[in-house]
Amino acid sequence: MLRLRRACATIARGTKFVSAGTLAIQDSSSPKIELLGVSKTFATSQGSVKALDKTNLKVATNEIVCLVGPSGCGKSTLLNLVAGFLSPSEGSVLVDATPVPGPGAERAVVFQQDSVFPWLTVAQNLAYGPKARGLHAGEVSSIVERLLSLVGLAEYRDFYPLQLSGGMKKRVDLARAYANKPAIMLMDEPFGALDVLTKEKMQIELLRLWQEEALTILFVTHDIEEALFIGDRVVVMTPRPARVAADVTVHLERELDPRRKTSADFQALRQQLMDTLSQNEAESAA
């Protein structure tokens, strides 16, 4: 059975709940991603909407942090700020201790909706980014070969997206995001539209990609089991405007086997998180 390479992935069981603002990062070097007192307010025709309110968050290099929280609380807004698609109304969004200047190739974004080009084959889709970066044909082709084999699509290299299943298309999407060798993957409910089995395969695919290189991943999901399966930490956001309500370090043994979702430890942690989410919503409704 495959296991992840990290030292921290081995058998430290139990959960640590950390209150908002004091995050459980052991690494003393500067975080890969840091939000410092970040607020974001949108001006709309109905008035202003505050999506984030003085949010603080740190993500260490090579960490996978999952964000969960009620719908409309500000998760996508947070991700879009790190992607550089939005700028903060207040506070700082830092990557490698430098304010995010705008979108950049080192921060790949994967949405629920595929961003594959329907008029290009699988191989051409994967070659698109490296070509656009001006790499030589030889380099492009070696990246494409590696990605095809990494996501198990070598036999489908000449297929068009229309000829692929939803799961295969998502793999192309993932590989395409990965083709530019990003340091950070920002994923917004990327597997939300997939059926349960395909979703589990994709979670494993993602963890395999993450094993390949030092990737830091910020992953939004509404699926708590998904968050616990892939995350080093699960950050629970409050209802809008989003702040960090709880920051949970996942100390479960990390095998690439979806059956571990049924273990007592896993389910106990899932229940704790569900309780935190409900309490969170009840407090904000009170």
Ligand X SMILES: Nc1ncnc2c1ncn2[C@@H]1O[C@H](COP(=O)(O)OP(=O)(O)O)[C@@H](O)[C@H]1O
User: Would you tell me which residues interact with ligand X (CB under 6 A)?
Assistant: 42, 44, 49, 51, 69, 71-77, 240
The CA-atom distances, in angstroms, between 186 and each of 149, 217, 218, 220, 227 are 23, 6, 5, 8, 14
Q: Which does 227 bind (CB under 5 to 8 A by kind): Mg ion, ligand X, none?
A: none
User: Which stretch, 75-83, 93-101, 199-207, 246-254, contacts Mg ion (CB under 5 A)?
Assistant: 75-83
Q: By C-alpha distance, which of 126, 131, 114 is closest to 153?
A: 126
Q: Which does 71 bind (CB under 5 to 8 A by kind): Mg ion, ligand X, none?
A: ligand X
Residue 64's beta-bridge partner residues? 217
Amino acid letter for position 148: L
The residue whose Cβ lies closest to Mg ion is: 76
Shortest separation between residue 52's beta carbon and ligand X, angstroms: 8
Q: Which does 204 bind (CB under 5 to 8 A by kind): Mg ion, ligand X, none?
A: none
C-beta closer to Mg ion: residue 80 or 125: 80
Shortest separation between residue 183's beta carbon and ligand X, angstroms: 23
DSSP state of 180: T
- Rule CB under 5 A: choose which of 76, 80, 203, 221 binds Mg ion: 76
Shortest separation between residue 75's beta carbon and Mg ion, angstroms: 5
The CA-atom distances, in angstroms, between 139 and each of 101, 135, 144, 249 are 29, 6, 9, 39
Rounded CA-CA distance 204/194 in Å is: 14
Shortest separation between residue 188's beta carbon and Mg ion, angstroms: 6
Q: Which residues are within 8 A (CB) of 252 and not within 5 positions of it... i.e. 6 or more apart? A: 13, 228, 260, 263, 265, 266, 269
Cis preceding linkage at 241, omega within 30:
yes
C-beta closer to Mg ion: residue 76 or 249: 76
C-beta closer to ligand X: residue 25 or 65: 65
How many residues are given for the chain? Answer: 286
How many CB atoms neighbour CB 82 within 10 A? 23
Q: Which does 44 bind (CB under 5 to 8 A by kind): Mg ion, ligand X, none?
A: ligand X
Let me know: does 116 contact 169? Beta carbons within 8 Å. Answer: yes
User: Which stretch, 4-12, 59-67, 72-80, 196-204, contacts Mg ion (CB under 5 A)?
Assistant: 72-80
User: Which stretch, 74-82, 86-94, 224-232, 263-271, contacts Mg ion (CB under 5 A)?
Assistant: 74-82
Tokens representing 195?
A: 């059926």
Residues in touch with Mg ion (CB under 5 A):
76
